[in-house]
Structure 1
Amino acid sequence: MNSHPTVAATAVPQDAEDKPDVVRLTDVRRHFGKTAALDGVSLSVRKGEILGLIGRSGAGKSTLIRCLNGLERPDSGRVLIEGRDIAGVSEKQLQPLRRKIGMIFQHFNLLSAKTVEENVALPLKIEGLPKAARFKRAAELLDLVGLSEKAKAYPSALSGGQKQRVGIARALAARPALLLSDEATSALDPETTHAILALLKDINKKLDLTILLITHEMEVVRNIADRVVVIDGGRIVEEGAVWSVFANPQSVTTRSLLSTIRPQLPDHIAKKLRQSPDGEAILSVDLAGPHASSPLLADLSAELPNAFRLIHGGIDHIQEQPVARFFIGVPDPSRLTPVLQFLKGRSARVEVLGYDARPV
């Protein structure tokens, strides 16, 4: 499906469910006037997990972030960080809890008048750590993100990718339990995005750090997340393991968000389709797991010679799981039922998209 390289993403370990929840939201609601920004959101993020939260602009992502870091108070519901409900505490009680949450931003938010090491050390200065201790920690983190040689530089001398590495180091300064990534790669080019995602995955493994990725880009989720949650209109409309959701998206929103990175029926064919059953039947065929790597089309051709033609499609690998999507045409109406029966017998998800009276 995608010809460019991707960051290796492993499936969620089998013992992941035994790990404690770092984040747990229960029936969180937040209204602005009559508009429901969050409408009964419940989700959890386990220790060491990378969870992708995806949705269009206005879906409720920003409000959810602000509820997580205490900048917004929900109208109702619970927001637990490591078991502590931050929704009901005072501002004074909230301050130490906020230090458990690191934030990286789309536009970096670095202080231009401070050096790289001073930017990284800033949260520790606010916390009251001695200068030697905070600069020692800054040096460790700059080494972690590969920017030790830039410690004395100012942000204006850095590239976008380097600025984001500084932002990541700063977010880790206070040893947070949770790292929030708010559209952190949206302002970066594809190559730099790939490098930043690889860095986040590496940090996740080394530190067993819980990461919540807030994004509108399915490619970001595809590359490094263990699970994905899709939000629309302030509600969660779909969630699950990344490979499973990508292989079989259930909601209209998810299918729309995936349309840019999953094979789609070519427009010149899609525009000619009609629902009256005459002409060539056009089918979508989706498979995941071992079924996706089987010689399905070769077996179909052997079983039913000349019954179909391949139009478009391919095989991808997500979380080490093969995920396949094909579009085929069945010109002869009498062959359609046997083709459907064969494909469904091989655990394929098949949909007749319509009929093309003038196949090309």
Structure 2
Amino acid sequence: MNSIVSASTIGATSKAASNEVVRLVDVHRHFGATPALDGISLTVHGGEILGIIGRSGAGKSTLIRCLNGLERPDSGEIEIEGRSIVGLDEKDLQPLRRRVGMIFQHFNLLSSRTVEENVALPMKIAGIAKAERLTRAHELLELVGLADKAKTYPSSLSGGQKQRVGIARALAARPALLLSDEATSALDPETTRSILTLLKDINRKLGLTIVLITHEMEVVRNIADRVAVIDAGRIVEEGQVWSVFADPKAPITQSLLSGSRPQLPEHIAARLSLTTGGEAILSIDMAGPAAQGAVFADLSAALPQSFRLVHGGIDHIQNQPVARFFIAVPTRDPALKDKVLQFLTARSARVEVLGYDTDHV
């Protein structure tokens, strides 16, 4: 049914729109003496996918519960579609919650209701007539690829199918914002990819704004437009996904990315020393046009026999080349390392001397 794939049907905003669907300003939330959110300021624009990533206990779940009104901040401002939700009573929060869809890690489906009844439940609560809610439930099930499962019960579904039902249910009330709380962490890698593809497809077709909470950098890499890294209740890094992957600045971001970016082989890292001698091991990070250039060919031509390539490669994130390499520079010429560093930094590379491998002389 084509009617389900229009932005007007879903009630979402255009992806090209610059309006703010979510705005948080200096949000604080404490549990006893422990700050769960410690001055969070964040904006989410209409039609974008924002990934919020952090370790367990970083404040991700508290943040998402504040966005749907299940948690009340101690101070600060939270606006959804330009309306402040801080201080609203339960009655006034109900219309807001219909504008905010939610998908959960463990699906939260009602086992006693069929798939179509689970999808239609938010509409039933909202007082929509049975015929209309069943029609829409079938449209949504078609959208998520489960039209043939309408009369079945959740117990007969796989994990991926249950999450598709959860997504359809979250879309039932025509939300402006979809919140995803670790929605793929209970799924296997293949199923995770299919769910992320579905969410990206929904975002593209409907212009639906999505905020997803995750501890998996690969989830952010595969679906998000922007990423915000949260640590100890604070946003410590934020930017376009490709940019953050290319040049992670916060230590927590570097740690979270360690499995997604080339790393110096352990047998080489284990023998690095701060003592000058042998070969200097350099890490080189480049992105955009700099990553596409023949930088090593140019370096070899400008400074013959100045380095050997140890490890690394080029990836593409959000259609942007992102490169990370490790090279070894002999230290027999004291000036050579500085010449290599100057050459690379002049070509927009970020270069760091990791140490010295004295096994190579």
TM-score scaled by length of structure 1: 0.94
For 1:12, the equivalent position in structure 2 comes to none
Q: How does 1:8-157 map to 2 (within 5 A)?
A: 19-157=18-156
1:183 aligns with 2:182: yes
Q: Which residue is 1:226 aligned to? A: 225
Listed as ranges, the matches of 1:245-324 within 5 Å are 245-324=244-323
Q: Deviations over 1:164-204 (max 9, x none)?
A: 11110000000001000100110111111111111101000
Conserved? CA contact 1:165–1:196, under 8 Å: yes
Answer whether contact 2:17 2:47 (CA < 8 A) is retained.
no
* Runs of 4+ with >6 A deviation: none
2:3 equivalent in structure 1 = none
Alpha-carbon shift at residue 359 of structure 1 (Å):
3.5
- Tell me how far apart the structure 2 counterparts of residues 124 and 333 of structure 1 sit (CA, whole Å): 74
Aligned residue for 1:5?
A: none
- Most deviating of 155-164 and 327-336: 327-336
Show the counterpart of 2:193.
194
Quick one: which amino acid aligns to residue 285 of structure 2?
A: D
The AA in structure 1 aligned to 2:134 is F
What TM-score does the superposition give when structure 2 sets the normalisation length?
Answer: 0.94
CA distance in 2, matches of 1:118, 1:145: 15
Equivalent position amino acid for 2:292 in 1: S
Secondary structure, aligned partner of 2:211 = strand
Task: Give the equivalent residue in structure 1 for 2:173.
Answer: 174
Cα distance in 1 between the residues matched to 2:15 and 2:239? 14
**Inter-partner Cα distance in structure 1 for 2:61 and 2:360:** 46
Q: Which residues in structure 2 correspond to 1:306-345 (within 5 Å)?
A: 306-334=305-333, 335-345=336-346
Contact 1:17 1:46 in 2 (8 A): no
1:263 alignment partner AA = P
Count of equivalent residues: 346
How far off its partner does 1:142 sit?
A: 0.5
Report if aligned partners of 1:307, 1:332 keep a CA contact under 8 Å in 2: no
Give me the identity figure in percent: 73
Taking the aligned partners of 2:17 and 2:207, their CA distance within structure 1 comes to 14
Deviation at 1:301, TM superposition (A): 1.6
Return the offset for 1:339: 1.3
Secondary structure in 2 matching 1:307: coil
C-alpha deviation, 1:18, in angstroms:
5.5
What residue is the counterpart of 1:353 in the other structure?
Answer: 354
Q: Which residue of 2 aligns with 1:3?
A: none
By how many angstroms is 1:156 displaced?
Answer: 1.2
Cα gap change, 1:86 to 1:323, in 2 (>3 Å)? same
Q: Distance in 2 between matches of 1:72 and 1:91?
A: 12
The runs of 5 or more residues in structure 2 that have no matched partner are: 1-13
Displacement of 1:16 after TM fit? 7.0
Distance 1:312 1:126 in 2: 57
Cα drift, residue 300 of structure 1: 1.3
State the 1:333 CA deviation: 3.9
3-state SS of 1:269 partner: helix
Shift of 1:101: 0.6
CA distance in 2, matches of 1:185, 1:295: 39
Distance in 1 between the 2:321 and 2:178 partners?
Answer: 29
Does structure 2 retain, via aligned residues, the 8 Å contact 1:281–1:333? Answer: no
Which whole-Å deviations, capped at 9, do the CAs of 1:129-163 have from their partners, x for residues lacking one?
11111100100000111110111111111111111
Structure-2 separation of matches of 1:333 and 1:21 = 57
Q: Does the Cα contact within 8 Å between 2:276 and 2:331 map onto a contact in 1? A: no
Distance 1:223 1:354, change over 3 A: same
